[in-house]
Amino acid sequence: MTLHIYNTLTRTKEPFQPIDPDRITMYVCGPTVYDYIHIGNARPAIFFDVVRRYLETLDYEVNYIVNFTDVDDKLIRKAAELGSTVPEVSERFIQAFYEDNDGLGIRRASNNPRVTENMEEIITFISELVASGRAYESGGDVYFRTREFAKYGQISRQNVDELQLGIRIEVDERKEDAADFVLWKAAKPGEISWSSPWGEGRPGWHIECSAMSRKYLGDTIDIHGGGQDLQFPHHECEAAQSESVTGKPLANVWMHNGYINIDNEKMSKSLGNGVTVQQLRKQYDPAALRYFMLSTHYRNPLNFNAEAMEQAEKSVSRIANAVANVRHALASLNTDPSVQEDANEVLQVKIASILETFDAKMQDDFNTADAITAVFEWASEANSYLQQADSLAAGDLEALLDAFEAMNEVLGLVLEKEEELLDEEIDQLIQERNDARKAKNWARADEIRDLLTEQGIVLEDTPQGVRWRRK
């Protein structure tokens, strides 16, 4: 099988051919760190985490960059509102970003460059554009000559003559052309700023990613990702700037995830229906949020509501319980000297088929929705096998766990805390309960069950012994 990826640039699904056969360069636009990340930020964070994970399972080394925009109009306003400084505000919400991402099982990027730490590279990039005639200075600001780049609109299919000026493009009388966009902004009194050939100021949004992408990944990268809302103007402007300097494509593959709606309404500040990841992590199992994000193909829109999250929690619980049961059964067998080691050939064939299906779905433009179906098939097979009380084999249980872990390594549907086998304390309590029941000390047995229930542990008496699961 060959990995195929839908390329926004060409609007087609293409065989993926990395620049280097062993290494992949990948840049995903990160947040402007003036507040807690919201559910709209969570979708690309989770999805591209899965893309990165899957590429690594294919034995690629992935240089994965997610930037922080840590100076911006929003940050300046937030700092004034809080009576703080821009660096203090950005640091606060960068740490919050890490906390939220860690809580969702999102692996840290190879690097999280900050705009403020790459100002020299940004100014150099703008200087190259000015020297080439593709950009010009006006009143301390620097603008890109959009019409000088013939391919402008290649990603978003926007026609420069039909742009919604004043809505998607800032209108400014200092521009030579209304379609030109800013590369450098002259500082207003009291604003945070840096020295440049054009005076004190700070960079525009688009140039930041162009400069950091080139610095950390090179002139042309394998994959550039982000939300659908970034196609225009952000990614369009990035490509125009970068290709004007290097004469090379900024990225060979452009990937964009679809929008998230809240109760069938577009998420927006005007509607006040935004939900932060911090709020969601308190309300729902983080693994359920991952499941929800991955249960629909990434290019399709996704509708968030309480019903969808409740269903996601039930689905994740079903998978986690199957994993816990297999682990428990294996632990029990490993203490039995008469363990059966002969492999169940029928089960082995089913496991191989499940993994083949999973891989085929992931190879088809990272179709996580269908890949999850393979995980449920695994859970059904695992539960069915466990009902065969007289024929459990350690080798079969290990094969089941290996198969699950291969899929979970990619999707992360069962997070680390849920993967843990019985800890010593729970083990001891369950053993003590078993002893109490044998001694017909029903009061003590019930007391232990109640204690475990208070801790969110549900006990299930089965032919293979006591199993447990978290609520």
Would you list the DSSP string of 389-450? Answer: TT--BHHHHHHHHHHHHHHHHHH--S-HHHH----HHHHHHHHHHHHHHHTT-HHHHHHHHH
Q: Is pLDDT above 90 for 415?
A: no
Q: Is pLDDT above 80 for 361?
A: yes
Q: First CA to last CA across the chain, in angstroms? A: 39
Yes or no: is domain 4-283 CATH 3.40.190.10?
no
The pLDDT, as a whole number, for residue 419 is 43
Q: Is pLDDT above 60 for 336?
A: no
Distances (CA, A) of 263 to 229, 271, 273, 315: 19, 12, 9, 20
Beta pairing class for 141-144 and 181-186: antiparallel
Q: How confident is the model at residue 471 (pLDDT cuts 50, 70, 90)?
A: low
- The predicted model gives 43-59 an average pLDDT of 98
Q: Where are the beta strands (DSSP E) in 123-167?
A: 135-138, 141-144
The pLDDT, as a whole number, for residue 267 is 73
Quote the DSSP letter at residue 332. Answer: H
* Choice between 176 and 273, residue whose per-residue pLDDT is larger: 176
Mean pLDDT, all residues of the chain? 90
Give the CA dihedral 97, 103, 106, 110, nearest 10 degrees: 50
The pLDDT, as a whole number, for residue 341 is 58
- The predicted model gives 82-108 an average pLDDT of 96
Distance of CA 274 to the CA centre of its chain: 18
The pLDDT, as a whole number, for residue 463 is 66
Report the SS3 class of residue 223. strand
* Choice between 308 and 340, residue whose per-residue pLDDT is larger: 308
* Choice between 408 and 442, residue whose per-residue pLDDT is larger: 408
Q: How confident is the model at residue 170 (pLDDT cuts 50, 70, 90)?
A: low
* Choice between 18 and 434, residue whose per-residue pLDDT is larger: 18
The pLDDT, as a whole number, for residue 167 is 45
- The predicted model gives 297-314 an average pLDDT of 96
The pLDDT, as a whole number, for residue 466 is 76
User: Which tokens go with 161?
Assistant: 């003559």
The pLDDT, as a whole number, for residue 340 is 53
Query: Which sequence spans correspond to the domains of the chain?
Result: 4-283, 312-419, 424-470
The pLDDT, as a whole number, for residue 330 is 87
- The predicted model gives 25-36 an average pLDDT of 97
* Choice between 259 and 456, residue whose per-residue pLDDT is larger: 259
The pLDDT, as a whole number, for residue 438 is 84
- The predicted model gives 282-303 an average pLDDT of 96
Distances (CA, A) of 278 to 3, 93, 170, 177: 34, 11, 32, 42
The pLDDT, as a whole number, for residue 418 is 44
Least confident of 11-15, 93-97, 162-166, 359-363: 162-166
pLDDT digits (tens, 9 = 90+) for 192-236: 999 999 999 999 999 999 999 999 999 999 999 999 999 999 999
Asked if residues 427 and 459 have their Cβ atoms less than 8 Å apart, the reply is: no
Yes or no: is domain 312-419 CATH 3.30.70?
no
Q: Is pLDDT above 60 for 270?
A: no
Q: How confident is the model at residue 385 (pLDDT cuts 50, 70, 90)?
A: very high
Q: Is pLDDT above 90 for 9?
A: yes
Asked if residues 411 and 50 have their Cβ atoms less than 8 Å apart, the reply is: yes
Q: Which residue has the tokens 């012994």?
A: 465
The pLDDT, as a whole number, for residue 337 is 47
Least confident of 88-102, 127-141, 451-465: 451-465
Q: How confident is the model at residue 387 (pLDDT cuts 50, 70, 90)?
A: confident
The pLDDT, as a whole number, for residue 169 is 56
Q: Is pLDDT above 70 for 164?
A: no
The pLDDT, as a whole number, for residue 298 is 98
Distance CA 211, CA 194 (A): 16
The pLDDT, as a whole number, for residue 260 is 93
Q: Is pLDDT above 60 for 132?
A: yes
Least confident of 100-109, 256-265, 337-346, 367-376: 337-346
Report the SS3 class of residue 272. coil
Least confident of 232-236, 312-316, 326-330: 326-330
The pLDDT, as a whole number, for residue 464 is 62
* Residue-level length of the chain: 471
- The predicted model gives 263-277 an average pLDDT of 76
Question: 298 burial class (0-12, 13-18, 19+ CB within 10 angstroms)?
Answer: buried
Q: How confident is the model at residue 334 (pLDDT cuts 50, 70, 90)?
A: low
Q: Which residue has the tokens 């689905």?
A: 315
Q: Is the whole model's pTM more than 0.85, yes or no?
A: yes
